[in-house]
Structures are given as C-alpha cells and as structure tokens.
Amino acid sequence: MTKGLNPSTTTRRPDRAALFIAAVLAAIAGLIFWDVSRLSGAAGYSQVGPTTVPYAIACCLAGLAVWTVFAAFRNDFPEREHQEISPVIWIVAGLAAQMLLLNVAGFSIATGILFALTARGFGKRKLWFSLPVGIALCFAVWVIFAKLLQLSLPAGPLEHLFF
Amino acid sequence: MKHFFLASILAGAMALPAYAADYTIIAPANPGGGWDQTARSLQTVLQQEGISGNVQVQNVPGAGGTIGLAQFASQQKGNPNALIVGGYVMVGAILTNKSPVTLKDVTPIARLTGEFEAIVVPAASEIKTMADLVAALKKDPGAVSWAGGSAGGTDHIAVGLIAKAAGVDPTKINYIAYSGGGEALAAILGSQVTAGISGYGEFEAQVKAGTLRLIAVSSGERLAGIDAPTLKESGLDVVVENWRMVAAAPGLTDEQKAAVSADVEKLAKSAGWQEVLKTKGWQDSYLSGDAFAAQLDKDVAATEGVLKDIGLVK
Amino acid sequence: MATFEFLLQGLWVAAQPMNLLYALIGVTLGTAVGVLPGIGPALTVALLLPVTYQLDPAGSLIMFAGIYYGGMYGGSTTSILLNTPGESASIVTALEGNKMARAGRGGPALATAAIGSFVAGLIATLGLAFIAPYIVKLALVFGPREYFALMVLAFVTVSSAFGDSTLRGLTALFVGLALSVVGIDQLTGQARLSFGVPELLDGIEVTTLAVAMFAIGETLFIAAQGEKGPDKVEAVRGSIWMSKLDWARSWKPWLRGTFIGFPIGAMPAGGAEIGTFLSYAAEKRLAKHPEEFGHGAIEGVAGPEAANNASAAGTLVPLLTLGLPTTATAAIMLAGFQQYGLQPGPLLFATNPQLVWGLIASLLIANFMLLVLNLPLIGLWVKLLTIPKPWLYAGILMFATLGTIGANPSVYELGMLLAFGLLGYAMRVFGYPIAPVVVGLILGPLAEQQLRRALAISQGDVSVLFTSPIAAVLLVIAAAALIIPLILRARGRGEVLAQLAANED
C-alpha cells in the first residue's frame, strides 16, 4: 500500500475518480443508516438484532470511504487503461432494448436485437446482416428451450407465427 | 420439413381446446416444507389425473410466504395458468410483516388440506412428555428454544398459545425462526434446540424412524394412527389447525376463475388426491367458493386478535 | 456383505450397453445445457428431468445421474475459457482458470477440471455409498454456532481471492455485504433496505448478481478495449494436454478439494460455493509458488473444481438419508426421485436398497462417462476462443440473459442484470476484484442468521460461540489464518512476503 505507483505522472493531484468512489461508498453507508434507523431493534433473546449487522456494514463502508480518500490523494489506484465508450453504449442499448421489448416483441426479436447490437459494439457494423442472423438464432434457441425443454420464455408475434 | 411444421401447427391447434392448462405452481417456501410438499403433490396429481398436461413447481421462499405472495401478485397478474399454494401461516405473516400485498390481492380458489401441529423433541432429550416441556417452560421460558417456521406463522402462534395456556408470558418465548421445514428439522435432529414444532407430516418419517419423539399434537381429538396425546389431554386448552389452500393470480375474468376452480375441484375429488392425503397424513378440508371466502375473512380477523394477544403484532 | 452385492448388481445393470448409451446421452445433454453461461446446474436438471421420464426406471435413473453430473461440470468450461461463470460454484474456477486460458493453457486447465471432477466424483460417490450415515451425523452436529464459526473462517480465508489490494478487496466484499442486507429479515420478518419496493423484498438473487458481474461486466470490459485489445487469443500455447508437472501439481489439490467439498456439501446449510472458497484458500496457502495465484495457478483450478463436484455428491447425503434437500438442485432432484418411487428419508437405505444402490451405481457410471465425453472435447472447447469476438460475446449475452429470463421472466430482473453488469464493468475499470462481491452476498446472510440464532438459543450468552469444540477449532484456524502472516511479516521474514506483494502488481 505504501508504494507510489505510476512514477512518471506523479503530479500530486488527487485521483478524481477515486474521490467519486469514496463519495459513493459514503452515500451507501448513509443510506443504510437512514433506512435501518427506522426498524425496531427488538431482538428477543439475542442481543444482535435486525439492525446490528446493517449498522456494522455501514460503519465499515464509511471507514472504507475514508481509506479511499487517502488512497486517492496518494494516487494509490492502478493506472486505468483508456476505455472506448461507444461500444459500451451499444451493448447497454442492446440490453435495455431487450429488457423493454421482451414482453411485447417476444424472446426471439428482443434477444435478436441484443445480439445484433452487441456485435455492433464489437465492430460488426452491418446490422442488416447481424439482425436477421441474431433473430433466427434466438428463434432456434427459443424453440429448443421453450418448446423442447419447457422453459418459460416469453413468446411474441414471431413465435406465435409458428406455434 | 414444411409438412412437419404444418402438421405440428395443426396438431397444436387441435390439441389446444382439449388440453387443460399447463400450470405453474408457486410454493412460497423453501423445498422440504409443508407448502412445498403440497405444491409437489398437486403437481403429481394434476398430471397423473390428466387435469393438466404439464405442471411446474417454483420455490420462492421467505418471510412466511409473503415474499412469494408479493412476487406472485405482481408478476402473474391476469395469468390464468399460475397458482400459488398458501395457508394459515400466510395470514399471520401478512399481519406481522405489514405486507403491502395481502390475500385480497390474489384470487383464493379453495382450501385443500388441514394439518395439525406436532410438537417433537430429539430422541435423546430428557423431556419425555408435554408436561415435562411445560414444566421447563414455566421454570425459565428463555431456556426452552423452539425451532419452527417463519416469524408470526402457525408454528409461532401455536407456541404463543401454548405458553399462554400454561400461564407463561407469551412474549417471553424463545422462538427460533427458520425459513423452511428442512433447516428447522436439521436443527431439531441435531439437538440444537429444545423442541420443534411443525406440521405432523414434516416429522413423520423421523418419528417413525425413532430419531424424534412426538410428545403432543394440536388437534381437538386424538388422530387415527398417530400415537400421541393432544394438547388438551396434556392440560393445555389449545387447538391449532394449519390449513393450506390454493389461490390463482389477481385480475382473472370470471370465466378463467371458474375454469381454475373446476380443475381444482376435479383434483380434490380425484382418487389420486385422496391417496396423497392418506399417505401424507393431511386432513381433507376441501372448501371452495363463497363458503371459503367467508371462512377466510373470519380466520384473518381471528388471527389478528391472537397475534395481538401474544404480542407479535402491536 | 449385502451392500456390496447390491452395488455390484446395480453396476452390472448400469453397465448394460443400452444403459451406457443413456448415461452418455445424459452426460452430453447435461454438459451441453450446463455449459451455457447463465444456466446453472439447478436449471439444467429442472429442464432435462422430463426427458428421463420416457425411459424405463433403470434407464431414466442413469440418464438422470448423467444430467446431474454433466450439469455440475458444464459450468466450469465457460468459466475457464470466457471468464463467465453462470453460477456461484464456478466463480472460483474462473479466477485462475481464465488466467490460464489467456496464457494459452486452456487445455490443461480444462483437463485438470475434468479429471479433478472425475476423481472427486468417484471418491465422493463412494463416500455417499459407504459413510453417508456417519457424515450425516457430523452434519447434524453443526448448529448455528458451528455454522457461524465456519462462516468466519470462510470470510477470513476468501481474502486470498481479493487480488492485490486490501482496500479494493475489502470494498468489494462490503459492497456485497451491503447488498446481502436487502430484503426481509428472516428472523423478525422486517423489511430492510427495500424502500417500499416489493421486488426488493426477495433480496438480490445470487445467480443474477453472478451472471451480471461476470458475464455482462466482462463483455462490456472487453468491448471497451476497442480495437487495441489483443486481436485474437492464442488458443493453445505448448501442449493442449497436461504436462507431467501439471499432473504433479494437480493430484494433491484434487484430493484436498474432495475432502473439503464432500462434508461441506453434506451440511444442511453448507452449499457448494463455500467448499470452493475454502479449497481455493487452502491451495493458495499450501502451494509451492503462491505468487502464481492470480496469474493462472493450476492448483487454483484443480482444488475448487474437485470441491465443487464432491459437494454435488455430498448434497445427496442429507437428501437420501434425511430427505432434506439443501440446495435448489437437490430440491428438483427430490421431485425426480419421487418419480422413480424413491422416497428419501431415514429409512430409505433399509426399505429401498435396490433403488438406492442403483442410483449410486448410476452416479459412478455417469461420472465415468463424463470423463469419456469431456477429455476428447477439450480440443473442441478451446476452439471457442477462436470464434470472432463479436459473435462470441453476442452469443454469451444471449445465453446469459436466457438463463435469467428462464428463471424469472420479469423486466425488473433484467434491469438488475443491466445495473449490476455496469457495476461489474466499472469495478473492472478501477481495478476492483469481482469475486468478493458475490462472496459477500452469499456469506453475509448465512453468517448473520446463524449468529443471531446461536445467540437467541443461548439467551444472549456470547461465550457459547467459542465453547463448542468444533466452533472453537474453526475459529482458531480462522485466527491463525489471519494472524500468522502478520507475525511472519513482523519478525522480518516479511521480506519474502513483501517481495511477493511487489511481484503481484
């Protein structure tokens, strides 16, 4: 913990991201304190009631937040690699689309879109190709799991067309 | 291939009206407990009697079934193929947990079984009779630990009633809640607790094998084939029956409700179900329709009184 | 001896060519479904159980055994190759296994997992056959205080899965613990950290968290490397088969993993993942080259995989002898057994010996078939890595969400998947280890409930936590694991440790 990392960039500027993480940890600790304080601590014969453990966890999180602040000022965090944001956005969009469309469009279409957008995130730009491939693949998976193996996967227009 | 598809669509279309619904039954408790056994028995009989082609059981454990009930009410709304097993425990748990979802939020179909509580101790225990247990309870209520189902359930209520009948402050009982029958049974078998309380069916195999000693049952009269005195015989005026029911999802049309009720009635009258009742030692307490609804309201009101009385609900 | 005759008879029936074929089909199906990320053994067994109903009792029992072992083993393949464990018991396998796969040693990693699973399955199944009644007695001795001590030991030892920074490891663990508090408190029925949201009353599903943090987090992280990430993984470097050195380093962890996993799997509140945690920690402490841990140490694959499969057989101990299903998988198996007229309980071995020994014989055969199927397949599995990344990861996300949707088809559950996936991504970016979050979520509630039960039973007397011999021994081991490294460091021998710490960056 005492080693100074990344010697070339050791300007004494605190690591902003780490400070943000510390703030989030402190906020979680505060949230736990606030929520648990409303519970009745009645514990019967055990002196450890329903509030004890959450309080302990909140205290530790608060302590870790302070530790993280120190680490931020000492630049103790490992150097972060450059992150491409657009692929992440494509994949998150795919997951969100699947979540919202699942009950409307059925498993095959919703998951096919997730498939195509994930491939897009990894650089396959040809959506006109990957989207049909994804939907066909997901339909095959749906047939195997929902029809053959009786897993409850939501059906939509495409599935109703065949079954 | 095309022909195959066509044929299967045709076959599917033709089979559809003939086939009854494929049911999914939620057992709102851990595997091994009473509701789980009820759900799995329903599954077996529904399939075996040809009432339903395919039945699946899903366990959603915790907090006296209110977790399963809440999930069922929110996720299965309007789904005529979803059923949930529930019972008296749920009535108490809804009150103690201040559950936002109550039995009014689902469609109760019918009461199916009743089961009396059994009080057991490990075979090696020094406690031989209910009188011994009451004596220990009077001496130091905290020293008698009871393993049973979740907080505020039938088991918990019964312990409270026993304490009250014995003249012990019911708020002083040392009740250890487990989320399912399996874990509680392990704790009793391992002599981790003084006594265990649950439906007789959950202890039956162990009682027969001689690893647990049955010291009392909570019925009004002695039960056929069970060699144990009632609580009344032991001088405690307590009768507790843990009934179990099956409910459907909220938001069903009258037709859908009638269809489910018809399926359940067919089940309750079937030879297969009667056989299950016999082997599991459950009492047939089939009651449906308005009569069940009225009985349910009465039970809810009575339970609230009992829970307040013994300090579980303020 | 009658038991031997029953076992031999069972083996003879199971070894009929037709039944061997059923075993092979069962193992193939189990592995094929179990290998999909997001679909763990419970779901695999539940899905495939109806397939067995078509056969005669002997055939269906043996196919069922194949599905069970296949499903238990299947998860490790994707954990090792793709770092996407679909269930909590293969998380530890991913820690070292995936590092090995990235270094082109996926073949040996898969081989040690397969052979370790076989060895563990063999020993544990024999254990089930001959010492189940004794093991179950040991399991029943474990009351709340013993479980609490076991959880303390698990907490202390899993710190070896924390990676290179104490701060970040602890932070990850406490995030998991904070998540574990969400939901209704088992012992008093009060809602904690649920903010009036009914869906949160259930608490957070371990499978959802594991799939999100690993499968989705990993996908996002790889995608964010953009073009400059390694273009393709070198699938095989050196031999695809285990070298002599690999064998020498694997056989002891296999045995140790078996002896850790089997009894813990047999405990009513144990569970497969705790055995894998303890096995990993034990291997790290006993290894000749602990500095390799975190960079692909074969011991870290061999031990936990053996523990995982041994606990699969261990789970059958309380199930068969007490009728207690202790895991979701076991609960589904109970339904399966009833189909064969097998009513688990204390009298089962006495009243129904043919079926019990038939099952045990089936498990032995299935275990063998698992090896027969999987060793030749290793070459094929490793080729998974050569699938172009866009299609590979699109497929991973498809199956990861399929498992979640199949278990609980709600929009809300998918929302959790997305949210925790982003959390997993963010934690990877900032160098936080992922495993402790899942560990915290698993161990947190167990530790809390057992502590509170122990104290309630003792009426608040804290000393009971230390006075049971088993609990005391477990706590002493935990204390030793915590303190000895500190003493070593203080006495100047710490140079070695400091050296190791330096190497880890």
Selection from C342, C341, C320, C339 nearest residue C330 by Cα: C320
Mutation for testing the B interface, residue in A45, A46, A153 having most B CBs under 10 Å: A45
User: pLDDT digit string (tens) for C381-422?
Assistant: 888 778 888 898 999 899 889 888 876 667 788 999 999 999
Classify each residue of A104-136 as buried b or exposed e, where b means 16 or more C-beta atoms within 10 Å of its C-beta: ebbbbbbbbbbbbbbbbbbebeeeeebbebbbe
Q: pLDDT category, B10, cuts 50, 70, 90?
A: very low
Query: Is there a single domain that holds both residue A27 and residue A58?
Result: yes
Count CA atoms closer than 13 A to C43's CA, side-chain side.
Answer: 27
Contact A157, A142 (CB under 8 A): no
Domain count, chain A: 2
> For residue C374, what are its two tokens?
């999987």
Q: Is the dihedral of CA B277, B278, B281, B283 positive or negative?
A: positive
pLDDT value, residue C419: 95
First vs last Cα of chain B: how many Å apart?
A: 67
Residue A79 falls within a domain, yes or no? no
Binning pLDDT at 50, 70 and 90, where does residue B181 land? low
Q: Tell me: do A92 and A140 sit in the same domain.
A: yes
Phi, psi of C409 (to 5 degrees): -75, 70
Query: B201 vs A57, which has greater pLDDT?
Result: A57
Instruction: Tell me the domain boundaries of chain B.
Output: 2-114+242-309, 116-217
Cβ-defined contact of B54 to A44 (cutoff 8 Å): no
Range of the domain at C350: 2-504
**What phi-psi label fits residue C16: left (phi over 0), alpha (psi between -120 and 50 degrees) or beta?**
beta
Is residue A49 domain-resident?
A: yes
* Cα dihedral C12→C17→C22→C26 (10° resolution): 80
Q: Is the ipTM of this complex over 0.85?
A: yes
> Is the Cβ–Cβ distance between C377 and C107 less than 8 Å?
no
In the CATH hierarchy, which top-level class contains the domain B116-217?
alpha beta
* Structure tokens belonging to residue C472: 């005391």
| Interface subset of A 120-139, CB within 8 angstroms of B | none
How many CB atoms sit inside 10 A of residue B245's CB? 26
Q: Which residues of A touch C452 (CB under 8 A)?
A: 43, 46, 48-49
How far apart, in Å, are the Cα atoms of B38 and each of A160, B84, B88, B273, B309?
34, 10, 14, 11, 30
3-class secondary-structure state, position B147: strand
Please give the full DSSP string across C134-165, using - where no structure is assigned: HHHHHHHH--HHHHHHHHHHHHHHGGGGS-S-
Listed in sequence order, the DSSP H helices in C35-158 are: 41-52, 57-82, 91-102, 106-141, 144-157
Report helix angle C244-266 to C272-286, nearest 10.
140
Minimal Cβ distance to A45: which of B54, B56, B142: B142
Of C43, C178, C460, the CB nearest to A57: C178
Pairing of strands B241-248, B107-122: antiparallel
> Does B2 score more than 60 pLDDT?
no
How many CB atoms are located within 10 Å of the residue C167 CB? 17
Tell me what pLDDT residue A41 has: 59
Residue A1: inside a domain: no
Cβ–Cβ gap A150/B56 under 8 Å: yes
Place of tokens 């068969």: C320
Structure tokens at B275: 């056989």
Q: Which of C192, C171, C282, C208 is nearest to C442 (CA)?
A: C208
Please state, in angstroms and rounded to a whole number, the distance separating the CA atoms of residues C65 and C338: 15
Q: How many domains does chain C have?
A: 1
Domain boundary among A48, A73, A98: A73
Backbone phi, psi, residue B149, to 5°: -75, -170
Looking at A22, A51, A73, the residue that finishes a domain is A73
Q: Answer yes or no: are the C-beta atoms of A77 and A128 closer than 8 Å.
A: no
What confidence score (pLDDT) does residue C504 get? Answer: 43
Nearest CB among B24, B54, B174 relative to A45 is that of: B174
In the structure encoding, which two tokens stand for residue C466, read together? 């230390």
Q: Do B70 and C201 touch (CB under 8 A)?
A: yes
Q: Quote the mean pLDDT of chain A.
A: 85
Reply yes or no on whether the pLDDT at B1 is more than 50.
no
Q: Are residues A68 and A100 in the same domain?
A: no
pLDDT value, residue B16? 37
Q: How far is A10 from chain B (nearest CA, A)?
A: 52
pLDDT band at A4 (very low <50, low <70, confident <90, very high): very low
**Are residues C171 and A40, on separate chains, in Cβ contact within 8 Å?**
no
Of A30-44, B27-41, C67-81, C250-264, which has the strongest mean pLDDT? C250-264
Q: Are residues A68 and A122 located together in one domain of the fold?
A: no
Q: Do domains B2-114+242-309 and B116-217 have the same CATH topology?
A: yes
Q: How far is CA B107 from CA B157, B300, C430, in A?
A: 25, 15, 50
pLDDT of residue C91: 85
Residue type at position C305: E
Q: Do C220 and A88 lie within an 8 Å CB cutoff?
A: yes
Q: Which CATH superfamily is domain B2-114+242-309 in?
A: Bordetella uptake gene, domain 1 (3.40.190.150)
Structural domain for A94, as ranges? 85-162
Token pair, residue B15, equals 């089979």
Nearest CA-CA partner of C284 in C256, C324, C313, C318: C256
Separation in Å, CA of A102 to nearest CA in chain B? 14
| Three-class SS state of B199 | strand
Residue type, C10: G
* Residue A45 in contact with partner chain B when CB distance is under 8 A: yes
Same domain, A89 and A152: yes
Average pLDDT per 10 consecutive residues for chain C, totaling 505 residues: 74 84 88 80 75 75 84 85 80 88 88 92 89 79 88 78 78 94 80 76 81 90 76 63 88 93 81 84 85 87 92 85 73 69 69 78 89 87 84 90 77 89 94 87 87 89 88 89 72 52 45
**What is the pLDDT, as a whole number, of residue B9?**
38
